């Protein structure tokens, strides 16, 4: 399988610009496949590239994996012999057809380009201009992939280990899609892909993950105690948490679309890790029991309490696709007794009660707009959750994070943000630090200047989805600047 590289990464690898590579694609010197280019063709054109040294490439793949937070079942377990045979024969058919289709598509595209080039040799300047415009349009449109092409691309370029054991799952009525690797369950496949499927115990007991099998072959992969009614049995109802797919399947299942679809939960989690990110911020990672995971939407908050005595509402900083590992950013500057206890006394294995989720700072379903995420200090926590979820879902065409810090604060996860920007063409990261505290006039003036710069950087800001999170002062000042915009989605989250 040829190794495909994003345009940005290929440009960096051979030390040229993206526009130069785009020109090569336009001139037909190298071909592009869904916006990516083939490493072999690239090295033929730039022979000085050391292809044997793939350390950087592997590092990029690693970053993408980490950034996507495929925390569950990183290396899928192989299915049994019977399952593998069924999948392998179905996939072999599919791959042959897909390759034929792609081959025809590539030949046809090449023919159109040659035809246009030939026709552009005309002496008529108007026709020449139209043909050039048409050619440019084709070049620009080709990399834009449809959802199904993205899935096909994932299927064809996946890690060699898992390729033969992957099936495609389509969920109705939403039409959402995901890939199921190895013998993970339908529920795990959906959650890994960032879908907000309905579920409860994850253990085959509660029946909350009930779904109707419309087509395809499935197999029970775990035992369950749940009893279906006779009607449900005749209607092909299954439990997503105990069932895997042997072939591509279509199922009808409930998904949460709004905050009211997620029940209020009370979960006792344990401290998995508590690291200090810098002098003032610590990263707390809690682990929930396997059978009682936290369902939430990216950007939401929960109430954390310890011994029924200390509590605080905090934004979740992790992605809902990893519902057993929940992250929070705790600052020592809020003088809150709960934060003080966490930073000074909490230790590995201690119990923390999670109650929630709550809050409406969530992503919109509309994926067609640029998403601008603006954080101030630890307002980065809910912004990180939103960013991770947009990446897992491939939710938006462009995701831009702007992280501002106030006096003496640091961008404590800047490496993570830079790694995302390196790994994803659609992701950009910007940071700026204010010299003064937001309580002061100078600090307010600085923040206003930074926000004006952000607004000025987007001529089309009225069509963007904008999310801002930070302390009270930040939200007040931001509202002064952003409320006059007519952006289709403008959300604020106060983080104390
Ligand atoms: S989540 Fe409870 S039975 Fe599947």
Distances (CA, A) of 144 to 205, 278, 437: 43, 41, 44
Ligand 1 centroid–CA 414 distance in Å is 38
User: How does strand 32-33 pair with strand 36-38?
Assistant: antiparallel
Q: Across the chain, what does the average pLDDT equal?
A: 83
CATH class of 260-358: mainly beta
Residues with CB under 6 A from ligand 1: 199-209, 226, 239, 241
Domain range summary for the chain, segments of one domain joined by +: 4-53, 62-255, 260-358, 371-494
For the ranges 65-69, 157-161, 216-220, the maximum mean pLDDT occurs at 216-220
- The conformation of residue 143, written as its DSSP 8-state character, comes to T
> What is the per-residue pLDDT for 174?
85
Ligand 1 centroid–CA 159 distance in Å is 30
**What ligand 1 atom has the least distance to the C-alpha of 239?**
4
Q: Is the pLDDT of residue 52 over 70?
A: no
Ligand 1 centroid–CA 349 distance in Å is 26
CATH class of 371-494: alpha beta
Residue 367's φ and ψ, nearest 5 degrees, are: -105, 10
Q: Is the pLDDT of residue 145 over 70?
A: no
**DSSP-assigned letters across all residues of 320-355:** TTSTTEEEEEEEGGG--HHHHHHHHT--TT-EEEEE
- pLDDT, tens digit (0-9, with 9 covering 90-100), for 235-281: 999 999 999 998 889 999 999 878 888 999 999 999 999 999 888 89
Q: How far apart are CA 383 and CA 395, in angstroms?
A: 15
Higher pLDDT, 19 or 420: 420
Ligand 1 centroid–CA 240 distance in Å is 7
User: Which residues on adjacent β-strands are paired with residue 315?
Assistant: 301
Please report where in the chains the tokens 């035809």 appear, as a residue. Answer: 115
**What ligand 1 atom has the least distance to the C-alpha of 209?**
4
pTM higher than 0.75? no
According to the CATH classification, is domain 62-255 in 3.40.30.10? no
For the ranges 43-57, 125-139, 208-222, 406-420, the maximum mean pLDDT occurs at 208-222
Please report where in the chains the tokens 């919109």 appear, as a residue. Answer: 364
Confidence class for position 385, pLDDT limits 50, 70, 90: very high
Q: Report the residue among 190, 205, 227, 293 best suited for mutation to probe ligand 1: largest number of ligand atoms under 8 A from its CB.
A: 205
User: Which residues on adjacent β-strands are paired with residue 371?
Assistant: 399, 465
Ligand 1 centroid–CA 132 distance in Å is 57
Confidence class for position 53, pLDDT limits 50, 70, 90: very low
**What ligand 1 atom has the least distance to the C-alpha of 202?**
1
Q: How far apart are CA 2 and CA 302, in angstroms?
A: 45
User: Which residues on adjacent β-strands are paired with residue 330?
Assistant: 282
- pLDDT, tens digit (0-9, with 9 covering 90-100), for 421-470: 887 878 899 999 999 888 889 999 999 999 999 999 999 999 999 999 99
Ligand 1 centroid–CA 198 distance in Å is 9
Is 199 within 8 Å of 179 (Cβ atoms)? Answer: no
> What is the per-residue pLDDT for 2?
60
Residues 6+ apart with CB under 8 A from 481: 448, 451, 452, 455
Distances (CA, A) of 254 to 134, 188, 206, 234: 43, 15, 15, 19
**What ligand 1 atom has the least distance to the C-alpha of 210?**
4
> What is the per-residue pLDDT for 426?
83
Confidence class for position 148, pLDDT limits 50, 70, 90: very low
Q: How far apart are CA 295 and CA 266, in angstroms?
A: 11
Query: How close are the terminal C-alpha atoms of the chain, in Å?
Result: 50
**What ligand 1 atom has the least distance to the C-alpha of 200?**
1
């Amino acid at each position: 399988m040829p190794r495909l590289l994003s345009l940005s990464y290929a440009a960096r690898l051979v030390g040229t610009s993206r526009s130069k590579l785009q020109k090569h694609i336009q001139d037909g010197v190298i071909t592009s496949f869904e916006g990516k280019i083939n490493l072999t063709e690239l090295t033929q054109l730039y022979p000085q590239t050391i292809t044997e040294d793939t350390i950087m490439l592997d590092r990029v793949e690693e970053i993408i994996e980490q950034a996507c937070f495929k925390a569950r079942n990183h290396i899928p377990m192989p299915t049994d012999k019977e399952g593998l045979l069924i999948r392998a024969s179905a996939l072999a058919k599919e791959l042959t057809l897909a390759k034929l289709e792609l081959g025809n598509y590539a030949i046809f595209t090449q023919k159109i380009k040659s035809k246009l080039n030939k026709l552009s040799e005309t002496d008529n300047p108007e026709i020449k201009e139209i043909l050039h415009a048409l050619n440019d349009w084709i070049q620009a449109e080709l990399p834009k992939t449809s959802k199904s092409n993205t899935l096909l691309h994932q299927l064809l370029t996946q890690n060699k280990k898992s390729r033969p054991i992957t099936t495609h799952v389509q969920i109705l009525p939403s039409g959402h899609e995901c890939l199921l690797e190895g013998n993970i369950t339908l529920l795990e496949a959906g959650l890994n892909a960032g879908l907000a499927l309905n579920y409860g115990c994850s253990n085959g007991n509660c029946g909350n993950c009930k779904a109707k099998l419309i087509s395809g072959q499935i197999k029970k992969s775990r035992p369950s105690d749940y009893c279906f009614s006779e009607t449900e049995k005749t209607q092909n109802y299954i439990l997503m948490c105990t069932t895997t797919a042997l072939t591509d399947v279509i199922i009808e299942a409930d998904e949460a679309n709004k905050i009211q679809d997620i029940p209020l939960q009370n979960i006792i989690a344990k401290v998995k890790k508590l690291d200090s990110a810098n002098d003032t911020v610590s990263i707390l990672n809690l682990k929930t029991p396997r059978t009682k995971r936290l369902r939430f939407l990216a950007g939401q908050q929960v109430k954390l309490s310890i011994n029924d005595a200390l509590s605080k509402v905090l934004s979740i900083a992790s992605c809902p696709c990893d519902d057993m590992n929940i992250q929070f950013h705790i600052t020592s500057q809020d003088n809150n007794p709960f934060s003080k206890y966490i930073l000074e006394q909490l230790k590995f294995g201690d119990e923390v009660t999670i109650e929630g989720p709550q809050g409406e700072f969530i992503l919109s379903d509309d994926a067609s707009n640029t998403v601008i995420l603006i954080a101030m200090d630890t307002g980065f926590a809910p912004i990180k959750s939103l960013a991770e979820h947009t990446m897992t879902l491939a939710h938006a065409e462009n995701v831009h994070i702007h992280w501002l810090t106030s006096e003496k604060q640091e961008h404590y996860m800047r490496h993570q943000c830079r790694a995302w920007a390196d790994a994803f063409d659609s992701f950009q990261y910007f940071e700026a630090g204010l010299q003064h505290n937001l309580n002061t006039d100078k600090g307010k003036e600085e923040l206003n200047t930074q926000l004006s710069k952000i607004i000025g950087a987007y001529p089309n800001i009225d069509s963007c989805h904008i999310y801002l999170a930070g302390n009270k002062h930040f939200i007040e000042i931001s509202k002064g600047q952003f409320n006059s915009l007519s952006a289709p989605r403008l959300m604020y989250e106060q983080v104390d």
